[in-house]
Structure formats: C-alpha cells, structure tokens
Structure 1
Amino acid sequence: MAELLKVEKLRAGYGEAVVLHDVSLTLDEGATLALLGRNGTGKTTLINTLAGATRQHGGSIALGGVALHQLASHERAAVGIGWVPQERNIFKSLTVHENLTAVARPGKWNPDGVYAMFPRLAERKTNLGTQLSGGEQQMLAVGRALVLNPRLLLLDEPLEGLAPIIVEELLRAIRRITREEGLSAIIVEQHPQAILAISDRAVVLDRGMVAHAGTAQELREQPERLDRLLGVAR
C-alpha cells in the first residue's frame, strides 16, 4: 500500500506550551491507526495538530505528499482531512440534513449514504442539532466528516460517554467505513481492545512522545504489555 500520512519530528502544543515532542509516524492508504495512551499524554493534541487547531513548533506533516503543516485548517479539509473532535462541533441551530448538506463535497459519501449507515439520523433529518441525543450527535459528527469525502478520517474518542447500544452501533459503522470502504483513519479511544480489533497499526503516546509503535494485532494479543504501556494495573 502507498504511504498516505507522514509525520516527522513533530513538535506542537498550545501557545508557547509544547505538548508533543519529536513525534514521528506513518500511515498507509486504506489503513487504520489506533492512537492510545493515558489521559494527558498528547493524543488529542496530535489529532488537533493534524487538523490544524494547535500551534506547530517544529517538524512536518504530509498527506499524500501535500505539506499539511503549511496549510490552514479549512485548507486541510479541502485536501483530505475529515475531523471529528471530542466536542463534535455540529451546527446545533441547523437540522440534521442541513448539517450534512452545508459541508458536503463531491464524492462517494453523500447524505443518503450517511442515512443508510445511521438510520436514526434518517428518522431525525428535520430535527435541530439541539434536539438530538449525545449518541445521535456523534453519529451526525461522523456523517458530517464523511460527506467531506476525506482521504483521512480523524476520530477523537468517538465512543466517550455513550450508552453500550450506541457504542456497538458506532463501532459497526467505523468498522464498515475503514474495513469495507477502505477509508484511512486515526482513532483515539479509551477502550483500547475495541479499537485495536478494527485497526492495522497502533501508536502509544507517553508524555507527548511515541512510547510504542507496531501492529494492532501485536498489542491485542499481549494484553499485559498493553496494560504496562497504558499504566493500567491488573
């Protein structure tokens, strides 16, 4: 597979505070990366930096050969970044359908495709964002990223705080998007085994640096090693 994303010696943070220190990683076209680590280790900062929402102090980011670090966040969306932040950031004063059509770009993913994957949204397409449950808002946030027809989907804790039945529905959707549709993705998640099961690669961050990089299968099959990397006591 061809290389899609290349991050080299990335240093980034907020204002003068540097959170990420010399982070390097790669991701192939069509592959999924599980981004793991304890709270406060820099996972969200890395996702936000890829999307253009932090201050970059050094290093480079390339998506398909395009230098992302030289682009503003809206320009990164135009060249292939689809971002679902922790806050979801849907347009709460717009309807579900308006949320999807307002940002849609030409490509295989359109509002009808999102409705087919998330029937709950089809039933609520005339509801405002404020009238949706947390799980429905998360589905809408994922759908809104998809209709941008990105080359790389960034998901920051997509399962956080959701009911188990919604978690299962979202996991099925993410598995379809990545495994069946072949969309590259980086997923930050506090439930490592759930995400490792649908990922190709895994990176563990610690104190803003890469503490481990390898296959997802490797960590999935070595739970004690995974626990040590995540600082989890059995």
Structure 2
Amino acid sequence: MSEMLKLEGVVAGYGEAKVLAGVDLSLGQGQALALLGRNGTGKTTLINTIVGHTRRFKGRLWLDGKEITALKPHQRALAGIGWVPQERNIFKSLTVEENLTAIAVPGPWDLARIYAMFPRLQERRANMGNQLSGGEQQMLAIARALLLNPKVLLLDEPLEGLAPIIVQELMRILSEIIEREGLSVILVEQNARKALSITHHAIVLERGAVIHASTAAELLAQDDKIDTLLAVSQR
C-alpha cells in the first residue's frame, strides 16, 4: 500500500501562536483516519495545515510522494487535497448544480456519479444554496469536494448539528466513499465511536501533539480508553 499523505515534524499555528507541536502522520492510499481529540486540541488546525491555511514554523508535507510544503492552498487543491470545512462554504446565491459544476475537475467523479450517490441533490439541483437544509448543504459541500477528484478528502466535523436521520444518511454515504471508492480520508468527528466505526486508523491529539495512534478497531474495542483519552463518555 503506497503512502498518500505524510506529515513530518509539523509545527504550525496562527500568527505567533504555535498550535501543532511536531505532528507526524502517515496515511496510506485508500485508508481512512479518524482524527480525534477534545475541543481545542488542534484537530481543525491540523486539517487547515494540510490545506495550507495556517502558518508553518517547522516540518514538511508530502502528497502522493510529492512534497507540497511550499504550495499555496489553491495549488494543494489542484494537487489533490479535497476539503470540507466546518463552515461548508457553499455558494448560497448559486443553484445546487451551479455549485457542483463551478469548480469541477475532469475525472472519475462527475455530475452523474454525484447524483447517483446524493439523490437529494439531484432532486434539489435547481434550488439555490440558501434554500437547502443544513443536511443538504453538508451533502453539497461533500459532493463539491468530490468533484475536484481529490486524492485525499479532509472532512472537518461533517455531522455536527445535523438531525439524526441526516446523520444516518451521511454515515452511509461516508462509509461507501471509504470502503468502495479508494479515497484516502481524514475524518474529524466529535462522536469518536461513529468515526471509528467507518475508518481504518485513529489518532488522538492533545495540546497539538499525537498522544495515541492505533487501528480504529483496536480503539473502538476499548471503551474506557476512549473515555480517558477524550475525557468524556460517549456511550
């Protein structure tokens, strides 16, 4: 299995503040990683650093064997970094279909394939972005990232604040993307057990450093360890 994403000794943050304290990370092709930790431990900063939206003090990053340390965010996107931020960042004044086609890159993921995976979006394709529910906006954000035909997909709390029925639907879609599509995925999710149930590996951050790394199955089988690492019961 080839290495799709690698971080080595990454120290990064915002302005003069260092949030990440020398993070090492390796993600294989077609593998999914659950990125866990309490609020404020550096999870979003790590995602933003991979995207290129933080200040890097030290360390290097590679994507599919090519160094991307010096690349700007738009160059990383073109190189194969797909990103679904917490804010979703959809174009609310454009229709669903306009949102999807505005930034699409030729590749295996095309509009027909997206509509097959997200039938709700096909039904709402003529609706404006601001006419969608929160769950539909999240589906649109994920679909739009897929249409960039990325090598790595970064998902920053995609289930946050959504109704249980939508969470269930998105879990099914994410599981399908991870198991059938061969994408490398990093999933940030507050509900550790949900994230671990559909991923292959897990790391836990504390104060910007990795304090635990294992397979997802190993951590999922240790309820007490999950509760200790995250300092909260999620049963």
**Deviation per CA, 1:105-164, whole angstroms, max 9, x where unpaired?**
111111221111111111110111111110000000000000000000000000000000
Q: Which amino acid aligns with 2:185?
A: A
Aligned-partner Cα distance in 2 for 1:207–1:233 = 20
After TM superposition, give the deviation of residue 233 of structure 1 in Å.
5.1
Paired residue total: 234
4+ long deviations beyond 4 Å? none
Residue 17 of structure 2 aligns with an amino acid whose one-letter code is A
Letter in 2 for 1:59: G
Distance 2:66 2:135 in 1: 34
Q: Secondary structure at the match of 1:70?
A: coil
Distance 1:59 1:49 in 2: 11
Residues in 2 aligned to 1:24 and 1:54: alpha-carbon distance in whole angstroms: 17
Alignment pair present for 1:14 and 2:14: yes
SS of residue matched to 1:136: helix
TM-score (norm 1): 0.98
In the alignment, residue 83 of structure 1 is paired with which amino acid? Answer: W
Q: How many Å separate the matches in 2 of 1:200 and 1:210?
A: 17
Partner of 1:92: 92
Alignment of 1:113-132 (within 5 A): 113-132=113-132
Name the counterpart of 2:137: 137
Which residues of 2 match residues 66-77 of structure 1 at below 5 A? Answer: 66-77=66-77
Q: Using the alignment, how far apart are the partners of 1:69 and 1:130 within structure 2? A: 36
Gaps of 5+ in 1: none
User: In the aligned structure 1, how far is the partner of 2:97 from the partner of 2:66?
Assistant: 32
Name the amino acid aligned to 2:40. Answer: G
The answer for the alignment partner of 2:28 in structure 1 is 28
**Partner residue of 1:178?**
178
Mapped pair 1:53 → 2:53: yes
How far, CA to CA, are the matches of 1:18 and 1:195 in structure 2? 27
* Structure 1 counterpart of 2:225: 225
When the two chains are superposed, the root-mean-square deviation of aligned CA atoms in Å is: 0.9
1:104 alignment partner, SS class:
coil
User: Are 1:83 and 2:78 an aligned pair?
Assistant: no
Query: Which amino acid in 1 is paired with 2:96?
Result: V
Structure-2 separation of matches of 1:233 and 1:128: 39
Is residue 104 from structure 1 mapped to residue 104 from structure 2 by the alignment? Answer: yes
Q: Following the alignment from structure 1 to structure 2, what is the Cα–Cα distance between the partners of residues 165 and 6?
A: 35
Amino acid at match of 2:180: E
